[in-house]
Structure 1
Amino acid sequence: MKLLVVGGGGREHALCWALAASPLLTKLWCAPGNAGIAEVAECVPIGAEDIPALVAFAQAQAVDLVVVGPEAPLTLGLADACAAAGLRCFGPSAAAARLEGSKSFTREVADAAGVPGARWARFEEADAARAYIRAQGAPIVVKADGLAAGKGVVVAATVEEAEAAIADIMESRVHGAAGASVVIEECLLGQEVSFFALCDGTTALPLGAAQDHKRAYDGDLGPNTGGMGAYSPPPIFTPALQDQVMAEIIRPTLAEMARRGAPFRGVLFAGLMITDAGPKLIEFNVRFGDPECQALMLRLRSDLLTALLAACDGALAQFDLRWDPRPSLTVVMAARGYPGAYAKGTVIRGLERAASVPGVEVFHAGTARREDGAVVANGGRVLGVTAMAETVASARAAAYRAVEAIDWPEGFCRRDIAHRAL
């Protein structure tokens, strides 16, 4: 089979790495890809949001399956455009991708499905949002309603901090059009878990759980990021808890989306808070997480391509997945300054030395290769150093050994990934 993976980050490198191992695969392209992806797939210089060009390329190459990594092309309708062109695509329709494209839509669906979550309200006027914040008090959560690349959420410890978030999101528009409206939510207390389910419109299959680290610095300090590291599985997420999440959150959402005429096919990513009262929904995403995907792909023992085909074909009821029981862990190396301003073009050395550490895979996120062959940083989150071992502690030790082997003075990473598990 011929495949086209869409995207150019660490998640897409992990997906390409896993798909490249399938005995069904005959050709793998990635658009646009990156320096690491180029080692397992042929990179094509087409942007992930250039829907017409992606469809035209897939048609010209007679691609058997398009696998969409990021959320933006899904919300823009890439899966719909593929379907109209007679192409098979793994990923939800634009109507189903609204579960990530609009946080208020997610809350409406969750309420209709009886999914447990936070109290919430939506505002299009900054003054009304500020008045609500003052009435509710803090801590409180302020979210840009639209897509903000994982950065449009502020967990405000004070009313003043929440009001400042309203000014940034709605008035200064730091996240662009995503901040035209905001969703303000009750601040849930507990441990966050990222849970993934493979869906075919009617059936959902657990894809495992991970724990992400959103804050930029050790001790969960600093600004929110797209994710600075992850590990899987989290000890807190027991099999009984997984069964509860499937019964109370995933399946009711799938049924409600089908009732609305927008059946969900693809990966449903539930951001959960494990509270004293049980699991509650924080948000939905409509794709694999990044960096959670890197940790999950290391543990997957089944053929990923076969699983994605089963989801596309509505065949998950007769399907199961095998997982390595050992834990895996990803440390993200980012450019200094991220998630704010950062330099591009700095040279990264020692990648082969890092990849030689037993149990380690180095996934590229924001990299490019210069004409002289040097790998350079080309984004904010640049590498996902991922390890699997017998224990969380030994996986962490291996990942940080590999980090130490990388010569990149302009990069930084958190040094406390998996601190909750340890």
Structure 2
Amino acid sequence: MRVLVIGGGGREHAIVDACARHRHEVLCTPGNPGIAELARVLPGPQDPDSLARLARDEGADVVIVGPEVYLAAGVVDACASEGISAFGPTRAASRLEGDKAWSKAFMQRHRIPTAAHRAFDDLDAALSHLATLTAPMVIKDAGLKAGKGVTIAHSETEAREALREIFAQSGAQAVIEDFMTGQEVSVLALTDGERYALTPPSQDHKTIHEGDTGPMTGGMGVICPFPVPADLMSQICEQIIEPTLRGLREEGLRFTGVLYAGLMLTPQGPKVVEFNARFGDPEAEAVLPLLESDLAQHALDAARGALDPATVRFGEGASAVVILAAPGYPAEPQRDIPLRIPPVPQGSAVYHAGTRLEGGQLLSAGGRVLAVTATAPALTDALKAAYALARQIDFPGAQRRLDIGHRLGLVPATEV
């Protein structure tokens, strides 16, 4: 079939790769240099109506939407108006990710376990609330922040600074919630709004520095699968995934695509840290290389309300992702750094997250620049292969975490 992928980062490169290996004709807008090796890249306007017309004019059988900003802008709604099947939630349903205050209220309405919290649209009220809390606490910008916009405040002073930064924006909202302890895990469900199939659980590493320190980023590396016992996975499905999909249906919100549940496995059971309405990035670069079945067909089936979960198959192996980020990321990433990627061995991939070509030279063009992925029968071997390939990439000044997998004791720094 003909598939149009919307987006131009590492997640979309992994989506394109998953579709291309099943011999579909893949188009992508706006794409990137890595994607251009697998798909026909189509430049042009990125507003919802233009994208829907592009899908119509190119005869796309299905559109797969990558980044959350397109969902929040209503690209799935625009595709529907053109009669195009799109894998992603409507603008209204994507509010589950795009508005953290609304999302927390949704969880309360449907009794989905999450941290105790309060939402504020006034700085003074938020600052007054801090006086009733004990650090650490979590401060979140309620809007779309590409996986960032979260501060784990270890003092009231740090919390106040985070709130003032949020409310410096016009129309801002903030969520203040209790700090949860436990292992953090990402559980992604491919869904048609009712039926769903889970990807293997994975674990992202959000902060820039080793030991889970430093500023939050969009994600610096992933291990997959993260070991979650079968009984706990059943609990996650029964208490989180299924009530969420049911609640969306009850509220008349059409949600197809990927329901991403970022969870904390607390001593009291699994709780939602936050929901996303699309593939995670860099989780997509970890889970999609393990997908043996046909992503494009699953996307089309889900968009048409006919997903068959029994057809979604993942391999038995493991994957690891190491992100190479630009110097200065996440505050002020340096751009236009020359990059050289060596031949990539079988079982590995280098997904372009923020690159561009100029005169035949590959250059950095973002914060997170490359996602280095390796698969292997065992997670330890996947990690070693990913780090080995990352070391061979010529990227002056690149930042990378040396402890991906450390929460399971998998990668001592002495080995990398």
TM-score (norm 2): 0.96
The reply on whether 1:215 has 2:215 as its aligned counterpart is no
Q: Which range moved further: 162-171 or 49-58?
A: 49-58
Asked if structure 2 preserves the Cα contact closer than 8 Å seen for 1:310 and 1:319, the reply is: no
Asked if structure 2 preserves the Cα contact closer than 8 Å seen for 1:18 and 1:297, the reply is: yes
Structure 2 equivalent of residue 413 of structure 1:
400
Q: Superposed, which structure 2 residues align to 1:14-413 within 5 Å?
A: 14-23=14-23, 25=24, 27-46=25-44, 49-171=46-168, 173=169, 180-235=172-227, 237-317=228-308, 319-349=310-340, 351-353=341-343, 355-356=344-345, 358-371=346-359, 373-413=360-400
Distance in 1 (alpha carbons) for counterparts of 2:65 and 2:219: 19
Task: Please state how far the C-alpha of 1:234 moved relative to its aligned partner.
Answer: 0.7
- 1:19-52 Cα distance to aligned partner (Å, 9 max, x none): 00124x2x211111111000001111135x4212
Distance in 2 (alpha carbons) for counterparts of 1:85 and 1:327: 40
Task: Please state how far the C-alpha of 1:139 moved relative to its aligned partner.
Answer: 1.0
Asked if structure 1 preserves the Cα contact closer than 8 Å seen for 2:3 and 2:61, the reply is: yes
Asked if structure 2 preserves the Cα contact closer than 8 Å seen for 1:202 and 1:263, the reply is: no
Task: Please state how far the C-alpha of 1:59 moved relative to its aligned partner.
Answer: 1.6
Distance in 2 (alpha carbons) for counterparts of 1:30 and 1:61: 11
TM-score (norm 1): 0.94
Runs of at least 5 residues in structure 1 that lack an aligned partner in the other structure: none
Asked if structure 2 preserves the Cα contact closer than 8 Å seen for 1:366 and 1:381, the reply is: yes
Distance in 1 (alpha carbons) for counterparts of 2:31 and 2:232: 36
Moved over 6 A (4+): none
Runs of at least 5 residues in structure 2 that lack an aligned partner in the other structure: 411-416
Amino acid at match of 2:160: E
Amino acid at match of 1:216: I
The reply on whether 1:3 has 2:28 as its aligned counterpart is no
The DSSP-based 3-state class of the residue aligned with 1:162 is: helix
The DSSP-based 3-state class of the residue aligned with 2:103 is: helix
Structure 1 equivalent of residue 413 of structure 2:
none
Q: Which range moved further: 390-399 or 29-38?
A: 390-399
Distance in 2 (alpha carbons) for counterparts of 1:352 and 1:64: 35
Task: Please state how far the C-alpha of 1:137 moved relative to its aligned partner.
Answer: 2.1
Q: Which range moved further: 308-317 or 282-291?
A: 308-317
Asked if structure 2 preserves the Cα contact closer than 8 Å seen for 1:359 and 1:398, the reply is: no
Task: Please state how far the C-alpha of 1:318 moved relative to its aligned partner.
Answer: 5.8
- 1:55-110 Cα distance to aligned partner (Å, 9 max, x none): 12112111111110000010110000000111111100001100001001111111
Asked if structure 2 preserves the Cα contact closer than 8 Å seen for 1:385 and 1:399, the reply is: yes
Task: Please state how far the C-alpha of 1:317 moved relative to its aligned partner.
Answer: 4.7
Distance in 2 (alpha carbons) for counterparts of 1:342 and 1:114: 40
In structure 2, the CA distance between the partners of 1:202 and 1:184, relative to structure 1 (3 Å rule), is same
Distance in 2 (alpha carbons) for counterparts of 1:113 and 1:343: 44
Structure 1 equivalent of residue 414 of structure 2:
none
- 1:384-419 Cα distance to aligned partner (Å, 9 max, x none): 000011222211111111011111113221111111
Asked if structure 2 preserves the Cα contact closer than 8 Å seen for 1:269 and 1:285, the reply is: yes
Amino acid at match of 2:246: A
Counting matched residue pairs gives 409
- 1:87-142 Cα distance to aligned partner (Å, 9 max, x none): 11110000110000100111111111111111111111111101111112211111
Distance in 1 (alpha carbons) for counterparts of 2:122 and 2:309: 49
In structure 2, the CA distance between the partners of 1:90 and 1:132, relative to structure 1 (3 Å rule), is same
The DSSP-based 3-state class of the residue aligned with 2:278 is: coil
